[in-house]
Amino acid sequence: MSLSPQGRSAASPATNLPPETQREMLRQMLTIRLFEERASADYRAGKIYGVVHCYIGEEGVAVGVCSALGPQDRIISTHRGHGHCIAKGADLPRMMAELYGRQTGYCKGKGGSMHIADFSIGMLGANGIVAGGIPIVTGAGLAAQMEGKGGVAVSFFGDGASNAGPFHECLNIAASWKLPMVYVCENNLYAAQTAAAATHALPDVAARAAGYGIPGEVVDGNDIFAVHQAAHRAVDRARSGGGPSLIECKTYRWRAHTERKGQPDYREQAEIEAWKGRDPIARLERQLREESALDDAELQSMERQITAAIEAAVAFAEASPFPLPEQATDDVFAA
Amino acid sequence: MRELTYDEAAVEAVAEEMRRDPKIFYLSTDPIPPLLREFGPERIRATPIAESAMTGMGIGAAGCGFRPIVDWRQVTFCFVAMDQIVNQAAKIHYMFGGQARFPLLFRATVCGGGRVAAQHSQSPYSMFMNVAGLKMFLASTPYDIKGLIKTAIRDNNPVISFESSRLLRLKGPVPEEDYTIPLGLADIKREGSDVTVVALAWLVHEALAAAEELAKEGISVEVIDPRSLVPLDAGTIRDSVKKTGRLVIADEAGPTAGFSAEVAAVATEDGATFARLKAPVKRVCALPVPIPYSPVLENHVFPDRKRILAGIREVLREGPAQAA
């Protein structure tokens, strides 16, 4: 499937996912959105430091892909990493505590928004360097191949990373060695402020798969079923020894590159509004209603539960101690 | 005791550890034949010439419970993987709050003298010493390199083995039985009382030759080989300088913000050591230029035993001790 430059997608592919699974997908996407809305507000209130990159608008990619994975599978994320963490099953209180710079955070206050990891669930970390995670997760793919237990590794990265050397080095090596990898390009059309249209020789990143002899597929990243089905095919192929695939999810970030006050955003308002009309969450809601798999009461109850979980995460973060200054010298080296 | 070359001792260390631990595997653009023969292509992997990928893959596999060895061959090739080394390997344990371990050995030859010009004659270890989160060593003998590589493979952190290209064919005694050498422990290669020479790699041997010559004049030179760059054994260096009162540092790298500057700081920022110094610290380093090709030029750029001798004589001439 290919998208027009405006990103207009074909009708969503039919899905035979049970309603429970579909509702869980909705719940995860909503969790990402509400978590980030809270993180953004708390960042602007000065309770979260440094820099926060929001994933709002792109939730269908993380949830669509991670819903095709098992607990033994591993992923790596980018600087825009909250969505991947939540979709892989990370703990909201420990995430929020990390954003708050507290001792109880995932990284004991050493990482912050750009560096959340949970190795126990196969989330090998958000990464502040564009394309920096691709080689690392390809190593996780090699580890999975050597372990021989059918594990798969997924690399999330943006359109910007697809122009960097490590992307090409890793696709080549993964294809040569038939590593159980899925490379997921989240093409949100902008590398920070720079339009992909100005920096990509070809509009579709997925077309580059041909150069490495692996399947490449463009999907509507705002259609969670399309993402899920593409991921499922790629994961099956990887698990069965067929080697890596490249999936390009066309999507869009609703917010500026970062939440920093005064962060420039040169995108046209009309473009932003048009993409808001293709909200992956509203789209799934609509489909679930059409299938009578969700009513107002259920949706409100879901939203209440998520809001309560986020409130609890914030309360946990606020009640948690800051690290002791001298803990700055802990964990430079492992024992 | 049997003798091995520096290169053979390094390979033997890797082979012994690989026999002991099935989680160890080796990534290199050019597999080492005896390792490939013994362990096969699954564990001795030939990679494309893609240092960024192979370095990051080592990091990722380490985080998944393996103990990879990534052989960059020459240090110059690892510069294309600097993001993976500096932003990822060095920081990944700390940045994620210590939640996973990254046992990882990097191997790279350093030094010059091969008439291969600037890009293939480099000693950039101080660039890496400046990055928190990396351990590293530079051995001067077959015995030391074997013991240090075995320790590094068993360490739960990224460790860089810098290996002197000048010493690859150097032979020396290596015991058959298992032994390791801890990181952070200097070796006093020759005891002496008049002047301390801290030297690395090939220059350890040049310093020993200089010491031998000066012994004929009744001058007693202590030669210290730090071996491990990070962690650096400051205690052994300071104890020696406190004893001799004079310090010469010999390094094949340039002087600017280099290993030699670090050793000078180790000696002078410690009050007790500084108080015993009888002369200014002398550094004997490469000239601060890219390494040139022509033998006449290259020989002029690098320090050797003659320059170490001159450096020792200089610190012996200077200072209040001369008047005493």
* CATH number (domain holding residue B263): 3.40.50.920
User: What is the per-residue pLDDT for B53?
Assistant: 98
User: Is 90 exceeded by the pLDDT of residue B48?
Assistant: yes
Residues B60 and B97 in one domain: yes
Same domain, B225 and B126: no
* B146 and B277 part of one domain: no
Report the 10 Å Cβ neighbour count for B61.
Answer: 29
| Minimal Cβ distance to B64: which of A109, A143, A330 | A143
Spell out the domains of chain A, with CATH numbers in brackets: 19-320 (3.40.50.970)
B164 and B57 part of one domain: yes
Question: Helix, strand or coil for residue B142?
Answer: helix
Backbone angles phi, psi at B111, to 5 degrees: 90, 175
How many structural domains does chain B have?
A: 2
Q: Is residue B179 part of a domain?
A: no
Predicted local confidence at residue A2, as pLDDT: 41
Tell me, yes or no, whether B323 lies in a domain: no
Could you tell me if B158 and B28 lie in one domain? yes
For residue A101, give the nearest of A56, A39, A41 by alpha carbon: A39
Does residue B265 fall inside a structural domain? yes
**Tens digits of residue pLDDT in A269-302:** 999 999 999 999 999 999 999 999 999 999 999 9
Whether residue B181 is contained in a domain is answered as: no
The alpha carbons of chain B give a radius of gyration, in whole angstroms, of 20
**Contact B46/A at CB under 8 A:** no
Q: Which residues of B are catalytic?
A: 120
Q: Is B235 contained in some domain?
A: yes
Q: Report how many Cβ contacts below 8 Å link chain A to chain B.
A: 147
Tell me: do B34 and B146 sit in the same domain.
yes
Question: Which residues of B are less than 8 Å from A101 in CB distance?
Answer: none
Q: How confident is the model at residue A16 (pLDDT cuts 50, 70, 90)?
A: confident
Residue B182 lies in a domain: no
pLDDT at B320: 56
Tell me which chain A residues have a C-beta less than 8 angstroms from the C-beta of B95.
107, 110-111, 115, 125
Q: Which of B173, B196, B211 is the last residue of a domain?
A: B173
Q: Does the pLDDT of residue B324 top 80, yes or no?
A: no
pLDDT digits (tens, 9 = 90+) for B109-136: 999 999 999 999 999 999 999 999 999 9
pLDDT grade, residue B318 (50/70/90)?
confident
Confidence of residue A15 (pLDDT cuts 50, 70, 90): confident
B 129-158 residues with CB < 8 A to A: 132-133, 135, 156-157
* Mean pLDDT value across chain A: 95
Same domain, B199 and B293: yes
Question: Cβ contacts of residue A325 below 8 Å, gap of 6+?
Answer: none
Q: Is residue B208 part of a domain?
A: yes
**Angle of CA points B207, B213, B217, to nearest 5°:** 130
CB contact under 8 A, A135 and B53: yes
Contact list, A169 vs chain B (CB under 8 Å):
48, 50, 52-53
Domain assignment present for residue B180? The answer is no
Q: Do B129 and B157 reside in the same domain of the chain?
A: yes
CATH number for the domain including B86? Answer: 3.40.50.970
**Last residue in a domain, options B150, B173, B196:** B173
C-alpha–C-alpha distance, residues B106 and A186, integer Å: 32
What residues in A contact B156, CB-CB < 8 Å?
333-335
Could you identify the residue written with the tokens 């039919």?
Answer: A14
Whether residues B155 and B71 fall in one domain: yes
CA B167, B173, B176: angle at the middle one, nearest 5?
A: 120
| Cβ-Cβ contacts under 8 Å for B103 (sequence gap 6 or more) | A334, B62, B67, B153, B154, B155, B156, B157
Is the domain of B204 the same as that of B154? Answer: no
**Same domain assignment for residues B226 and B310:** yes
Domain limit, last residue, from B173, B206, B229:
B173
Domain containing B309: what range?
A: 187-318
Interface mutation vs chain A, best among B52, B86, B87, most A CBs within 10 Å: B52
Mark whether B222 and B102 lie in a shared domain.
no
Cβ contact A321:A101 at 8 Å: no
Task: Compute the average pLDDT of residues B97-108.
Answer: 98
